[in-house]
Amino acid sequence: MSFLNYRRRVLAALAAFGLAGALGACENGLLEVKNPGAVNDADLDDPLVQQQIVNTVVGSFQTMYDDLVFAGALLSDEGVNGHNFTQWIEINLRVLEESNSILGSDIYGPLQRARAAGDNLSQRLRGILGDKAGSDLGLARALAYAGYGNIMLAEYFCESPVADDQPALSSDDIMRRAIGRFDEAIQIATAARANAAAVNPATTASRAAVAGADSIANMARVGAARASLWLGDKTKAVQYASAVPASFVMWLNYSDNKAFQENRLFAATSGSGRYLGVSAKFRNLNDPRIRHNATAQSGHSPDAILFTPRLGPSHTGWSAAAAGEFAKNTGIRLSSGLEAQYIVAEAQGPNAANIAFVNSRRAVGGQAALAATVSPADFLAALREQRSRDFFMDGHRLGDLRRYKKQYGVDEFNKGTHPVAKWGNYGTAECFPPSLAERIGNPAY
């Protein structure tokens, strides 16, 4: 990606000081690297290095995702910003410019790096594996995360380049890229499962390998169903999602070992510098899936009075019995059989099975059941409400709001005066623009 293109950025910096022309004749020597890395190409055939490649893909995605969850909560209708940085205030106000510095540093840059790691390293791994690529579970995992990297880019950004020599792609086009990666991940994981089962199904190692292959395949199926639903291909969405067991869940892991491994939602909801609150729409629901402090307090910004969110079912440590606080190592649910059920219900509409499903989710929040004769419009409204509760502050909401408006003409974005009245009224942004660094550094964009 262009924001990582060191050569261009150095030349741009030199140009700003009038030095680019003077150094033009020696730019190759200036930027030449004699020893580009400590790992030789031959070393990449080592299985340990192959695992490190997969770990890099997974780690890049997990590292950026909690920041994405926070940003998505502010741009959608989930969260109230309590940070006094102007950049976060503008995001929460739905007033977005490509010059917003946090857009580049905390949102676009990390997401593009994770997307590019999945796309590029999976291809590198394929070349290393050769004939073994068609049944390698590590490659299937890398491709599945590559698919989710593309999904998040499509849902969060209005458009985006995915190569520094090509123009920006629309969200629909990026979703199609995601489906291609998911399809391949499913195919490879299915072959890996067959190989593992053929060895000796009774052994612990074989059972673990089968379970791992099933997990990656289901993760990819949910992702492919999510992308298909976005594109309006409800037949394919149901086909993918129907194959996912209701019990399936895939978590993103965080740690208190190092600062960059911590879940940002801990810092956003903890201590005197807290900076995330629950919007009025999601307060006082008496629903164990969405809890918050009963008393509002200010935090990082003295202007914002926040009802601090607590754990929901998309966060590890959540309990229906008692409210829990975010920790540095709180995991985030990325993909699940529950989401697959929601996709089927949205794609098919109000049949008996789907009404029963929505009613089962309404029961969790103590709400009365829908009638068997519920209209399609009322059914989808009820489904949207339950989905917002089940996936609260886990990265789904912004994409959901964009899909509802795109597919059904339903606009649930915040409007009117911001809860901090002195900050003004909400704007009209519904997605993030690529950062200014992308526009400056990428001539194709």
Tens of pLDDT, residues 364-413 = 999 999 999 999 999 999 999 999 999 999 999 999 999 999 999 999 99
Query: Residue 42: is it exposed, middle or buried by C-beta count within 10 angstroms (0-12/13-18/19+)?
Result: exposed
41 falls in which pLDDT band (50, 70, 90)?
low
pLDDT at 164: 84
Class (C level, CATH) for 51-248: mainly alpha
> For strand 276-278 and strand 249-252, is the pairing parallel, antiparallel, or unpaired?
unpaired
31 falls in which pLDDT band (50, 70, 90)?
very low
d(CA 18, CA 355): 67
21 falls in which pLDDT band (50, 70, 90)?
very low
Domain locations along the chain: 1-33, 51-248
Q: Which two tokens stand for residue 78?
A: 């989930």
Kindly tell me if the per-residue pLDDT of 221 is higher than 90. yes
| 228-258 pLDDT, tens digit each | 999 999 999 999 999 999 999 999 999 999 9
- CA geometry: angle at 66 spanning 266 and 75, to 5°? 100
**Sequence-distant (≥ 6) Cβ neighbours of residue 125 within 8 angstroms:** 50, 53, 54, 133, 136, 138, 139, 142
d(CA 143, CA 135): 13
Distance from the Cα of residue 192 to its chain's centroid:
26
- HSE of 394 in the Cβ direction (CA atoms, 13 Å)? 27
Q: Which two tokens stand for residue 139?
A: 């490659």
d(CA 311, CA 432): 26
- pTM summary value: 0.90
Output the average pLDDT for the chain.
91
| 130-186 pLDDT, tens digit each | 999 999 999 999 999 999 999 999 999 999 999 988 899 999 999 999 999 999 999
| Element (DSSP H or E) covering residue 3 | none
- Could you tell me where the beta strands, DSSP code E, fall in 5-82? 79-81
